[in-house]
């Protein structure tokens, strides 16, 4: 397989904080690779270094076959959408696109085929100012602007932050189609639920990569049982649940509490009897498959030690 | 290809400027309003001042003097008073700025005793104006006195004749035009460029541009040229306005003047770029250019307060303010008609500053994040 991005031991610190600590990974051609982690994990810094916008303290990377110091070569081969990127609100949709095309030394016509599928949705609004677009539309336009010079590797820094759920789903579908055309895509997101959309994900926390694998593999190799619990009195449940033996950790996930515990057959019965004893009504206790978020929490806990 | 890139950037910058109607209106409106204000409203000149006359003499001399005073364009008779009691009411009405009192038997006293008394009472709630008004009146009286003495053998009198060169009528607008031009150019050049670059930082568009093949000097030039055009045309409007409405003379070479204007704009622009390379966002850029630029320019450039009257430390500081050199050059060229031989030193100082700012700015502004 062809490697498009090979990062080796990238380290970067700002004053006393380690933004990136010895980060290494590879991304293959045509892969949709996700960096999942909370704010401040170092995702943006990593993208900035890989697009040569920022210098690393140490370590190197090969981006589309070029070393990081070969800035001009890399810059002409990557598409980059910064995290806070928000286009020029006073220019129209078309003007924004044409501007980025010109600056990158191409024309909209020349590379129209790449963005066509996305841009047709924007075409009815092409004379509207970008500032007046909805969040989802803005994101699509930004993606077009990052694609217009036909990059070989695309870096998207938190493209779905602040976008409504429907547009988010749409956005990921677009990325899926782009990937099929052979484009290598690196995308970062703080939303754990988006991990399943990626071919492989890197879980990143405090500048360190905790795990890299396809999302299905990461959840499969989760060593514990996850049990979702719900009752009519969640506040009391939170306290009571700590009395369960062998509970490794308890986290709130929406309307459920997730309890992780060692794999054994009788855990559900154990919890149910405890809840009855404590007088909980309308209870629901079920064994579920671990999600990326469960894995993330688990890895985080273990990495502390 | 490279050129197309740059022109694409330039086109975008012009679009930003012309789309922002409100800012354009302020930028073009402000110099016009300021010049008009300074020209018409804020003035130290005396014109049509209301005076009241209390004439207790009612003779040739008092009538003659009154006529002379009123026939000048400076004074206008608001009312005739009949008694001293009315003086206070006249002032309190707020309309009368000066009362002229002729004593009883004025003519008789002059011819008999060689001494006549006329009292001038000024409304000193505004001391500066009162002083000026009284001085004008005395000048007219002195004139009259000389004429009276013509026939008789005059005592030897040393006359002082004061002339105000370059601005004979002490017109305020002459003084303010260079100042207003400077302030506007500072504002447009330094502040607008720094804000516009800081905005790109703030919205992340600059980061997106960093990945583009655009060079940093292309970005700087692309930011500078539109504002150069803008502030130069605003300066032309200001100049034209002051020439045609207020008849401010341009005694020196107009091309020399425009050349110096260009030099100053470049200095201010490079300072603006320097600011934006330091400021992380628009707010900071605005604050720095306000505090670091506008205030010192207004206070220390000699625009309002003469530099010679400042305490020595401030005089020293004023040397590093570009506007100080520029204003003095403008006054030299416009009002004194000075040529290159006079202004070359100031020009060199300004050019040196521009080079330093540009050097620092280009060192700080890179297509890289720190």
**Residue B166, pLDDT score:** 60
Which part of chain A has CATH 3.30.70.100? 223-289
State how far the Cα of A114 lies from the Cα of A104, in Å rounded to an integer: 15
**Residue A259, pLDDT score:** 87
Contact flag A75-B208 (C-beta cutoff 8 Å): no
**Residue A84, pLDDT score:** 81
Which part of chain A has CATH 3.40.50.300? 3-214
How high is the mean pLDDT of chain A?
89
Which carries the bigger pLDDT value, residue B241 or residue B263? B263
**Residue B170, pLDDT score:** 57
Contact flag A145-B211 (C-beta cutoff 8 Å): no
pLDDT tens-digit readout, B90-146: 888 888 888 888 888 888 888 887 788 888 888 888 777 788 888 888 888 888 888
| Residue with tokens 């003095």, as numbered in its chain | B328
**Residue A264, pLDDT score:** 76
B161: confidence class by pLDDT, cuts 50, 70, 90: low
Across the interface, of B1, B19, B368, the residue whose CB is closest to A54 is B368
Once rounded to an integer, what is the mean pLDDT over residues A128-154? 92
- Chain B residues closer than 8 Å to A145 by CB: 208
**Residue B159, pLDDT score:** 52
pLDDT tens-digit readout, A238-256: 888 887 777 788 888 888 8
Q: Where are the domains of chain B?
A: 2-42+172-364, 49-149
Longest CA pairwise span in chain B (Å): 97
B155: confidence class by pLDDT, cuts 50, 70, 90: low
Contact flag A102-B15 (C-beta cutoff 8 Å): no
Contact flag B368-A53 (C-beta cutoff 8 Å): yes
How high is the mean pLDDT of chain B?
84
- Chain B residues closer than 8 Å to A88 by CB: 12, 16, 203, 205
- Give yes or no for a contact between A56 and A11, defined as CB atoms under 8 angstroms apart: yes
**Residue B290, pLDDT score:** 84
Once rounded to an integer, what is the mean pLDDT over residues B50-74? 88
Name residues whose C-beta falls within 8 Å of residue B25's C-beta, 6 or more positions apart in sequence: none
Nearest Cα residue to B336 out of B163, B166, B164? B166
pLDDT tens-digit readout, A215-237: 989 988 888 888 888 888 888 88
Contact flag B208-A72 (C-beta cutoff 8 Å): no
Contact flag B5-A98 (C-beta cutoff 8 Å): no
Once rounded to an integer, what is the mean pLDDT over residues B312-327? 89
Q: Tell the CATH superfamily of the B49-149 domain.
A: abc type-2 transporter like domain (3.40.1710.10)
User: Strands B118-122 and B98-102, how do they pair?
Assistant: antiparallel
Nearest chain B residue to A56 by CA distance is B370
State how far the Cα of B52 lies from the Cα of B202, in Å rounded to an integer: 64
Once rounded to an integer, what is the mean pLDDT over residues B295-309? 81
Once rounded to an integer, what is the mean pLDDT over residues B325-342? 86
How would CATH label the architecture of A223-289? 2-Layer Sandwich (3.30)
Under an 8 Å CB criterion, which residues of A touch B? Answer: 48, 51-55, 72, 75-76, 78-91, 95, 98-100, 102-105, 145-146
**Residue B294 distance to chain A (closest CA, Å):** 28
Once rounded to an integer, what is the mean pLDDT over residues A47-72? 93
Q: Does B4 touch chain A (CB under 8 A)?
A: yes
Question: Which SS3 state, helix, strand or coil, does residue B89 take?
Answer: helix
What single string gives the DSSP state of each residue in B286-336? HHHHIIIIIHHHHHHSSSSS-GGGS-HHHHHHHTT-HHHHHHHHHHIIIII
B171: confidence class by pLDDT, cuts 50, 70, 90: low
Once rounded to an integer, what is the mean pLDDT over residues A107-129? 92
Contact flag A145-B208 (C-beta cutoff 8 Å): yes
At residue B165, does pLDDT exceed 80? no
B1: confidence class by pLDDT, cuts 50, 70, 90: low
* Angle (deg, nearest 10), helices B216-244 and B193-202: 140
B154: confidence class by pLDDT, cuts 50, 70, 90: low
Once rounded to an integer, what is the mean pLDDT over residues B55-75? 87
State how far the Cα of B67 lies from the Cα of B76, in Å rounded to an integer: 11
Q: Identify any residues that bridge with A157 across adjacent strands, giving them in sequence order.
A: A188
Which alpha helices (DSSP H) does chain B contain, by range?
A: 2-19, 21-36, 60-71, 85-92, 106-113, 127-149, 172-186, 193-202, 205-210, 216-244, 254-278, 282-289, 295-300, 312-318, 322-331, 340-364
Pick the CATH number of A3-214 from 3.40.50.300, 3.20.20.10, 3.40.50.620, 1.20.58.110: 3.40.50.300
B4-13, B126-135, B314-323, B332-341, range with the lowest pLDDT: B126-135
At residue A95, does pLDDT exceed 90? yes
State how far the Cα of A33 lies from the Cα of B31, in Å rounded to an integer: 56
Across the interface, of B9, B19, B211, the residue whose CB is closest to A90 is B19
State how far the Cα of A89 lies from the Cα of B250, in Å rounded to an integer: 43
State how far the Cα of A140 lies from the Cα of B162, in Å rounded to an integer: 75
- Chain B residues closer than 8 Å to A83 by CB: 204
Q: Identify any residues that bridge with A226 across adjacent strands, giving them in sequence order.
A: A260, A288
């Amino acid at each position: 397989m062809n490697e498009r991005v090979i990062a080796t031991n990238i380290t970067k610190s700002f004053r006393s904080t380690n933004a990136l600590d010895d980060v290494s990974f590879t991304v293959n051609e045509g892969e949709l690779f996700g960096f999942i982690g909370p704010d401040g994990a170092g995702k943006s810094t990593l993208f900035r270094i890989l697009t040569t916008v920022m210098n690393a303290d140490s370590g190197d990377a090969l981006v589309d076959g070029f070393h990081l110091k070969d800035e001009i070569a890399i810059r002409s081969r990557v598409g980059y959408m910064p995290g806070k990127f928000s286009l020029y609100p006073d220019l129209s949709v078309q003007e924004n696109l044409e501007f980025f095309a010109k600056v990158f030394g191409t024309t909209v016509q020349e590379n129209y085929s790449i963005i066509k599928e996305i841009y047709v949705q924007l075409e009815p609004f092409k004379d509207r100012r970008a500032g007046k677009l909805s969040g989802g539309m803005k994101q699509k336009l930004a993606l077009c602007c990052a694609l217009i010079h036909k990059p070989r590797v695309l870096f998207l820094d938190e493209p779905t932050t602040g976008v409504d759920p429907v547009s988010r789903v749409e956005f990921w579908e677009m990325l899926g189609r782009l990937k099929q055309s052979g484009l290598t895509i690196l995308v970062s997101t703080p939303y754990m639920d988006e991990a399943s959309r990626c071919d492989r994900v890197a879980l990143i926390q405090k500048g360190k990569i905790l795990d890299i694998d396809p999302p299905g593999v990461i959840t499969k190799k989760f060593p514990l049982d996850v049990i979702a619990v719900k009752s009519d009195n969640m506040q009391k449940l939170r306290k009571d649940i700590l009395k369960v033996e062998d509970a490794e950790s308890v986290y709130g996930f929406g309307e459920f509490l997730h309890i992780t515990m060692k794999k054994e057959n009788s855990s559900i019965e154990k919890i149910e009897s405890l809840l009855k004893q404590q007088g909980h009504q309308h209870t629901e206790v079920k064994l579920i498959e671990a999600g990326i978020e469960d894995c993330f929490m688990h890895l985080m806990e273990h990495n502390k030690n | 290809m490279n050129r197309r890139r740059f022109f694409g950037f330039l086109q975008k910058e012009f679009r930003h400027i012309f789309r922002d109607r409100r800012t354009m209106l302020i930028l073009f409106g402000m110099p016009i309003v300021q010049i008009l204000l300074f020209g018409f409203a804020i003035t130290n000149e005396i014109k049509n001042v209301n005076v009241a006359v209390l004439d207790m003499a009612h003779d040739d001399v008092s009538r003659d003097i009154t006529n002379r005073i009123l026939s000048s364009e400076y004074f206008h008779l608001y009312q005739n008073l009949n008694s001293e009691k009315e003086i206070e009411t006249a002032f309190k009405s707020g309309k009368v700025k000066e009362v002229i009192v002729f004593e009883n038997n004025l003519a008789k006293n002059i011819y008999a005793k060689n001494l006549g008394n006329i009292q001038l009472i000024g409304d000193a709630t505004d001391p500066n104006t009162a002083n000026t008004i009284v001085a004008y009146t005395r000048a007219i009286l002195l004139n009259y006195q000389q004429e009276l003495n013509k026939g008789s053998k005059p005592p030897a009198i040393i006359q002082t004749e004061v002339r105000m060169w370059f601005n004979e009528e002490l017109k305020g607008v002459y003084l303010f035009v260079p100042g207003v031009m400077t302030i506007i150019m500072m504002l447009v050049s330094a502040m607008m460029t720094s804000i516009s670059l800081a905005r790109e930082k703030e919205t992340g568009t600059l980061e997106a541009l960093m990945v583009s093949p655009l060079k940093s000097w292309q970005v700087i030039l692309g930011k500078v040229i539109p504002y150069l055009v803008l502030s130069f045309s605003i300066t032309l409007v200001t100049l034209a306005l002051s020439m045609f409405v207020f008849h401010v003379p341009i005694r020196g070479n107009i091309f020399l003047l425009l050349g110096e204007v260009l030099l100053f704009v470049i200095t201010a622009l490079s300072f603006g770029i320097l600011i934006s390379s330091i400021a992380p966002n628009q707010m900071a850029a605005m604050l720095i250019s306000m505090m670091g630029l506008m205030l010192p320019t207004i206070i220390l450039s000699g625009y309002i307060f003469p530099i010679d009257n400042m305490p020595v430390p401030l005089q020293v500081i004023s040397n590093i303010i570009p506007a100080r050199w520029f204003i003095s050059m403008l006054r030299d060229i416009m009002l004194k008609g000075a040529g290159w031989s006079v202004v070359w030193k100031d020009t060199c100082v300004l050019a040196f500053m521009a080079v330093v700012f540009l050097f620092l700015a280009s060192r700080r502004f890179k297509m890289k994040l720190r």
